[in-house]
């Protein structure tokens, strides 16, 4: 609905049916005056009078005057369009009731803008079905329990599989662990083969782990020495990350002449 209709949104809702009715009446009278024969005009005028009586007004002028006090007649087409798009008068009244309970159109303003932004984002992402598939895929990963725990004071604490350093270009394991060695055996690889990898190499090397352990996810202590997210993105495809921020590594100083 256009913004210039918002002011009249609440006050006109109880007259929505009358608005549509008014348009019908105007059409009937105009057609009768311009084209219909005398007998037809008289029948149509009698019908109009009965309908006006049922509406609680004496004539079209009175109904038009009452509506004009609430809004310019030119605004009423927008209201009729809203009724149609909402699914009819009953559905439109339900929408208005929700708006009232939320504090009115002014209170909902920021949220409506958020909703428009969200719709625009969803459309750019390929539509609701594609976004739903992305969310489902993310939930399938993030909803799995961690694979390793330790007990402290009767509570389960997530235990990292190993610690890994992440900079702008590589992911480097600080040291091996018994748990990591067991995982590497299941993957038919060795610690030497995975100790230092680029982001793409890391994702490829550990991709089989999601098939080997589909029921849970291992956690890495992730020492992040970069302000970029590429390292984090590569590791989080397979692992949960216990992120520890560290000062980014500076570039090596140039040799002096």
Given a contact cutoff of 8 angstroms between Cβ atoms, the answer to whether 5 and 70 are in contact is no
pLDDT score of 124: 74
Residue 173 to residue 206: CA distance in whole angstroms: 13
**Maximum Cα–Cα distance for the chain, whole Å?**
110
Q: DSSP assignment, residue 126? A: T
Alpha helices, H only, the chain:
16-34, 38-55, 60-70, 76-86, 89-101, 105-124, 128-142, 178-186, 191-194, 199-206, 209-212, 230-236
pTM greater than 0.75: no
**Per-position DSSP letters for 31-78, written without gaps between them:** HHHHTS-HHHHHHHHHHHHHHHHHHT-SSHHHHHHHHHHHS-GGGHHH
Eight-state DSSP code of residue 177: -
**Cβ proximity of 216 and 144 under 8 Å:** yes
Structure tokens at 256: 């002096």
pLDDT by position in tens, the chain (length 257):
554 555 455 455 555 555 556 655 555 555 555 554 554 445 456 666 665 565 565 666 665 665 555 555 555 556 666 666 666 667 766 766 666 666 665 555 665 666 666 777 777 777 777 767 666 555 554 578 999 988 888 888 999 999 999 999 999 999 999 999 999 999 999 999 999 999 999 999 999 999 999 999 999 999 999 999 999 999 999 999 999 998 876 644 444 44
How many other C-beta atoms lie within 10 A of the C-beta of residue 231?
Answer: 24
DSSP-assigned beta bridge partners for residue 165: 172, 223
Q: Can you tell me whether residue 150 is helix, strand or coil?
A: strand
């Amino acid at each position: 609905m256009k913004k210039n209709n918002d002011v009249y949104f609440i006050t006109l809702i109880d007259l929505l049916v009358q608005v549509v009715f008014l348009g019908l009446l105007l059409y009937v009278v105009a057609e009768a005056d311009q084209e219909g024969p005398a007998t037809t005009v008289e029948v149509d005028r009698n019908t109009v009078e009965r309908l006006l009586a049922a509406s609680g007004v004496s004539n079209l002028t009175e109904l038009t005057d009452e509506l004009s006090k609430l809004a310019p007649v030119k605004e009423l087409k927008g209201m009729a369009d809203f009724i149609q798009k909402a699914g009819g008068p009953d559905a439109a009244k339900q929408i208005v009731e929700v708006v009232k309970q939320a504090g009115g159109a002014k209170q909902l303003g920021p949220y409506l803008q958020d909703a428009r932004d969200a719709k625009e984002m969803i459309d750019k992402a390929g539509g609701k079905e594609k976004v739903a598939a992305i969310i489902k895929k993310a939930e399938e990963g993030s909803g799995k329990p961690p694979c390793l725990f330790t007990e402290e004071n009767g509570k389960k604490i997530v235990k990292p599989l190993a610690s890994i350093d992440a900079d702008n270009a590589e992911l480097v394991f600080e040291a091996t662990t018994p748990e990591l060695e067991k995982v590497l055996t299941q993957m038919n690889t060795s610690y030497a083969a995975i100790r230092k990898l680029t982001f793409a190499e890391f994702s490829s090397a550990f991709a089989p782990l999601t098939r080997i352990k589909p029921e849970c996810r291992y956690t890495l202590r992730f020492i992040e020495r970069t302000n970029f997210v590429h390292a984090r993105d590569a590791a989080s495809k397979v692992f949960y990350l216990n992120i520890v921020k560290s000062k980014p590594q500076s570039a090596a100083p140039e040799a002096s002449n």
